[in-house]
Amino acid sequence: MDIYTSFASVYDIFMGDTDYEMWVSYIEKLLKKYNAKPDLVLDLGCGTGNVTSLLAKKGYDMIGIDISPDMLNIANEKANEENLDILYLLQDMRSFELYGTVSLVISLFDCINYITEKEDLLTVFKLVNNYLDPGGLFIFDLNTEYKFKNILAYNTFAETTDDAAYIWENYYDEDSKINEYYMNFFVKNENEHSYTRTEECHLEKAYSIDDIKSLLEESGLMLLDVFDAFTFSPPKKDSERLYFVVKEIKK
């Protein structure tokens, strides 16, 4: 089944409580900490463009890349409605291409976890290095193994709204370090008397900090810091999300 197709139609509904302003504020705090003043920014795995749009409103020139045409259609609609000049590209982050370099790459909401093979993740990091300006920053987050094992694990989550509902089941394999998300979506049809049910399966892989550091070094990037999400504190045993701050050091 194609992933993200059904997910795109309900993504903003069920992410409605997400404080995107806070996510963007944290990115800007990180930029200030490292004295970075980027102009052209790549949002790798931009989804429906919520963070991309907020950064564009703050004056950054934005490029958004995503593998889902449905996600990008929604992102483009938002940009058009708000008269934002954002370049959205339909590409796989494992093989993306740009016309030139950028001064900052971000990849948020555990997009990196979706790269489930180390060889593919190395390719992503090499591409980031290739398209980063000398000394440019790469900021991304990761769901931790603690979250997969202790928060998601074998739990089931559900939510309903007036127009949609979902049931989300999780299965974590400690050997492969893969978390499987089985999602059933129910979206109200236009006649309001019936719902269309669709399902998707998403996979995310848990990576250790050492795994990430090794792959970054092999790609020519340097890991500057790892933080417990939305703080400047080091990772904890029960950290659910980590932020990685990376610098381009060589081509």
Angle, helices 69-81/5-14, rounded to nearest 10 degrees: 40
Q: What is residue 251's predicted lDDT score, i.e. its pLDDT?
A: 55
The dihedrals phi and psi of 167, each to the nearest 5 degrees, come to: -125, 125
219's CB contacts (< 8 A; 6+ apart) are 122, 125, 126, 128, 129
Q: What is the DSSP letter of 4?
A: T
Q: pLDDT at position 15, please?
A: 57
pTM: 0.90
Assigned token pair, 117: 């093979």
Q: How many CB atoms lie within 10 A of CB 172?
A: 21
Mapping DSSP to helix (H, G, I), strand (E, B) and coil, where does residue 114 land? helix
Sheet holding 40-44, edge to edge: 87-90, 61-66, 40-44, 102-107, 132-143, 241-248, 221-228
CB distance 60 to 41 below 8 Å: yes
Whole-number Å distance between alpha carbons of 83 and 132: 27
* Both structure tokens of 100: 């030139």
The domains located in the chain, with CATH, are 5-144+207-248 (3.40.50.150), 147-205 (2.20.25.110)
b or e along 38-71 (b: 16 or more beta carbons within 10 Å of the residue's beta carbon)? bebbbbbbbbbbbbbbbbbeeebebbbbbbbebb
- Listing DSSP states for 90-128 in one string gives E--TTS---SS-EEEEEE-TTTGGG--SHHHHHHHHHHH
Neighbour count for residue 183 (Cβ, 10 Å): 19
Question: Are residues 46 and 52 in contact, defined by beta-carbon separation less than 8 angstroms?
Answer: yes
- What confidence score (pLDDT) does residue 1 get? 37
Asked if residues 82 and 53 have their Cβ atoms less than 8 Å apart, the reply is yes
pLDDT in tens, the chain (251 residues): 344 445 555 555 555 567 999 999 999 999 999 999 999 999 999 999 999 999 999 999 999 999 999 889 999 999 999 999 999 999 999 999 999 999 999 999 999 999 999 999 999 999 999 999 999 999 999 999 999 999 998 888 887 777 777 788 899 999 999 999 887 777 777 776 777 777 778 899 999 999 999 999 999 999 999 999 999 999 999 999 999 999 998 65
Rounded to whole angstroms, the Cα distance separating 188 from 165 reads 9
